[in-house]
Amino acid sequence: MKRHLPPYVYAKGKRGYLYFVRGSICERIKSNPGTPEFAADYARLLRGRSMAPRRTISKLIDEFMSSPKWAGYAFNTRRSHERHLAYIRDVAGHVDPSQLRTVHVYEMRDALADKPTDANRKLDTLAALLNHGKRIGWLDGNPAQGVERLKPTGRKRRPWPVDLIEAFRANASGRTLLLFELLLGTGQRIGDVLDLRWSDLDEDGFTITQGKTKTELYIPLTDRLRRVLAAETKKGFFIVCHPDGSRISYQLAHKNIMAVRREIGAEAYDIHGLRYAAASEIAAIPGMTSEHVKAITGHADAAMIRLYAGAAVQKARAQEAQKARTDKDSTKREL
C-alpha cells in the first residue's frame, strides 16, 4: 500500500494523531497535511528543531513555587498563596500566560464577587505570580497590576476591648494565656510570636525579625509581660511550645485561643485583633505618634498604621479638643 504521509510522519492511536519520529525527536504535529503550517512544522523537525515546550499558567506556578522569591516568603504567606494558586491552576492552568489580558483578570475577580476578601487575596496571588512571569521573561507586563480590589462587605476587624482582654486573662491558663500575653504585649503577628525563642530575649526585650516584612525590631517588655515570662519554665528553644519543647502550629494556637474566645463570648475578636489592640493602646496615650506605633508593629506604610490605630488616635484627639473647649469656657467664666 502506498504511504500517503511524508517520511518519519506516522499516525498513532485510535484518533490517528500525527507524530514526527526520527532519532531522539518524537513530537506531535497538530497542523493538517497539505497546509502551509504542516509544511513549516515538518521542515523544522527535519532540521532537528523540536518545538519549545508550551508555556502555561500551570507551568508558571511550578516555576514560581521553585523560585528564590517563594523560598523567601514567610510560612503563612506561602500557605495562603498555595491555596489561591490551587484555584488559579484549576480554572486557568492550561492558559498561555502571555495571552492573559486585564479584562480576563476582571472577569475572574467579578466571578468571586460574593466573597470580596477571598477575591482580593486571589488577585494579590495572581499579581505575584505574573510578576514572576515578568522576572523570568515569560511576560512583558502584568495584567493583574492595578486591577481594582473589591470593597469588603464582611465585618471590620476591631481591637479587643479592655473588658474582653481581662475576661480572657481570667479564663485562660498555661500555654494559651502565655500566647495571649505575648501577642498583646509585643503587638506582633501570630507567626512571629510562635517563632519566638528564649535566645531572642534579653533582660529588657525581644529582638525580632518579622517573617512577613523581614523588618528587624527590638520590642521592650511591658511590666506584665516581664512578670509572665519570669514565671514561665523553659522547656526547649521556643517560648510557646509543646511539653517536649517543640514549636506549636498555627492551627493548634488558633484552636486554643478560639476555645477561650467562645467561652467568654469574644468570637468577633480574632487573634490579629490583638495586634490592633496593642497599636490602639499606644495611639491612645497622650504624646504618642504614628512613629511610636510603627516602632512596635513594624509597619512602614502610613495607611496601615491608620488602619490599626486610626480610631484610637481620633478618639484621643477628640478628647483633647473637647477638653480644650471646656478649659476655654471655664477661663471665660472666670474673667
The torsion angles phi and psi of 4, rounded to 5 degrees, stand at: -95, -5
Instruction: Summarize pLDDT for 142-175 with one digit per residue, the tens.
Output: 999 999 999 877 667 788 999 999 999 999 999 9
Instruction: Summarize pLDDT for 28-79 with one digit per residue, the tens.
Output: 888 888 898 899 889 989 888 766 557 899 999 999 999 999 998 888 889 9
Cα Rg of the chain, angstroms: 29
CATH at 198: 1.10.443.10
Please report whether residue 259 resides in a domain.
yes
Nearest to 275 by CA among 170, 158, 173: 158
Q: What secondary structure letter does DSSP report for 212?
A: T
pLDDT of residue 199: 96
Note whether 178 and 302 are same-domain residues. Answer: yes
Please report whether residue 267 resides in a domain.
yes
**Predicted structure pTM score:** 0.60
Domain count, the chain: 3
Please report whether residue 87 resides in a domain.
yes
Instruction: Summarize pLDDT for 118-136 with one digit per residue, the tens.
Output: 999 999 999 999 999 999 9
H helical segments located in the chain: 36-46, 57-65, 68-71, 75-92, 102-111, 116-135, 162-171, 174-186, 190-194, 223-230, 250-264, 272-283, 290-297, 302-334
Note whether 235 and 272 are same-domain residues. Answer: yes
Give pairs for 99-103: CB < 8 Å, separation 24+: 100/57, 100/130, 100/143, 101/143, 102/143, 102/144, 102/146, 102/147
pLDDT of residue 330: 63
Q: What secondary structure letter does DSSP report for 247?
A: B
Residue 252 has pLDDT above 60, yes or no: yes
Instruction: Summarize pLDDT for 189-232 with one digit per residue, the tens.
Output: 999 999 999 999 999 999 999 888 888 989 999 999 999 999 99
Please report whether residue 243 resides in a domain.
yes
Residues near 194 by Cβ (< 8 Å), separated by ≥ 6? Answer: 179, 238, 240, 247, 248, 249, 250, 253
Please report whether residue 146 resides in a domain.
no
Ramachandran class of 8: left when φ > 0, alpha when ψ lies in -120 to 50, beta otherwise: left
Copy the grid coordinates of residue 87. 484555584
Separation of alpha carbons 281 and 172, rounded Å: 22
Separation of alpha carbons 120 and 130, rounded Å: 15
Note whether 191 and 304 are same-domain residues. Answer: yes
* Res. 324 pLDDT band, cuts 50 70 90: low
Residues present in the chain in total: 335
pLDDT of residue 302: 60
pLDDT of residue 288: 78
Instruction: Summarize pLDDT for 78-128 with one digit per residue, the tens.
Output: 999 999 999 999 988 888 898 899 999 999 999 898 888 899 999 999 999
Q: State the amino acid at position 40 in one-letter form.
A: A
Note whether 21 and 98 are same-domain residues. Answer: no
Note whether 166 and 225 are same-domain residues. Answer: yes
Copy the grid coordinates of residue 162. 479592655
* Res. 1 pLDDT band, cuts 50 70 90: very low
Helices 162-171 and 250-264: angle between axes, nearest 10 degrees: 110
Residue 32's domain comprises 9-46
Note whether 38 and 168 are same-domain residues. Answer: no
Please report whether residue 242 resides in a domain.
yes
Instruction: Summarize pLDDT for 281-316 with one digit per residue, the tens.
Output: 887 777 777 788 788 888 666 655 566 555 655 665
**Which residue's C-alpha cell is 532519532?**
23
- Residue 277 vs residues 235, 237, 322: alpha-carbon distances, Å: 29, 28, 24
Instruction: For the chain, give the percent of residues with pLDDT over 90.
Output: 53
